[in-house]
Amino acid sequence: MAKKKTEPVEKIEREYIIPLRNKWKKVPRYKRANKAIKAIKEFLVRHMGVRDRDLDKVKLDKYLNEFVWTRGIRKPPIKIKVRAIKEGDFIRAELFEMPEKMKFKQARLEKIEKKAAEMGKKRKKEEKPEEKIEGKIEEEKKEEEKEKAKAGEEVGKEVGKAAAKQVKHSGGKIKQPKRQQRKALAK
């Protein structure tokens, strides 16, 4: 089998200041942030040379999206500075300069991810050979079966007590309902 040759994907990186006010002023207030996001995508598609002007080929960074939405849906930013990276047909856009507030948030998220990765590594080290694990699984299954059997016995005793109580209070006769009770009410 012959190996396929993968051509290196050309990577184009550009910085733009995208004017948004003209676009979002044309729509109702409750749609402005949505229109700002769409305007960013349209601008990048037009200026980065995407075929068929397909907006689905533009991916925005979550911090860019959050920056547009920081002041809510009614008041998106007037302009935004963006770094656009084109790899093949796809464009990835991110904020050029991160505001201080978002830097702290990004650092906190990275710290959480790093901690999670370390915990995953520790768990892998703590895992024991499969033979011991299989033995434990079999023991756990046997214990579960014993617990189920005990629970079944207890339920049987409770049902018997309830029947005896009903017989005692009904004068020795068990009254059957004249017609079946609705299932929703029986619960």
- Compute the Cα dihedral for 110, 114, 115, 117 and give only its sign: positive
Q: Are residues 97 and 158 in the same domain?
A: no
Q: Is residue 182 part of a domain?
A: no
What would you report as the CA-atom Rg of the chain, rounded to the nearest whole angstrom? 33
Give the predicted TM-score (pTM) of the model: 0.57
Domain boundary among 43, 77, 101: 101
* Arithmetic mean of pLDDT, 55-69: 91
Longest Cα separation, the chain: 91
Q: What is the mean pLDDT of the chain?
A: 84
pLDDT at 187 over 90: no
Q: Is residue 51 part of a domain?
A: yes
Across the chain, how many H-helices and E-strands are there? 6, 4
Q: Is residue 71 part of a domain?
A: yes
Q: Which domain holds residue 42?
A: 11-101
In-domain check, residue 111: no
The reply to whether 23 and 97 lie within a common domain is: yes
Indicate if 25 and 75 belong to the same structural domain: yes
Give the pLDDT of residue 31: 94
Residue 130 within any structural domain of the chain = no
CATH number at residue 24: 3.10.440.10
The verdict on 145 and 68 lying in the same domain is no
Residue 47 placed within a domain: yes
- Please count the other Cβ atoms lying within 10 Å of the Cβ belonging to residue 79: 11
Place of tokens 């948004």: 20
Give the pLDDT score at 42. Answer: 93
Domain-embedded: residue 113: no
**Does the structure show a pLDDT above 90 at 148?**
no
Res. 99: pLDDT tops 80: yes
| Paired tokens of 137 | 């699984």
Q: How confident is the model at residue 128 (pLDDT cuts 50, 70, 90)?
A: low
Give CA 170 to chain center in angstroms: 57
* pLDDT the model gives residue 122: 81
The number of domains in the chain is: 2
User: Is residue 120 a part of any domain in this protein?
Assistant: no
* 164 — pLDDT class (breaks 50, 70, 90): confident
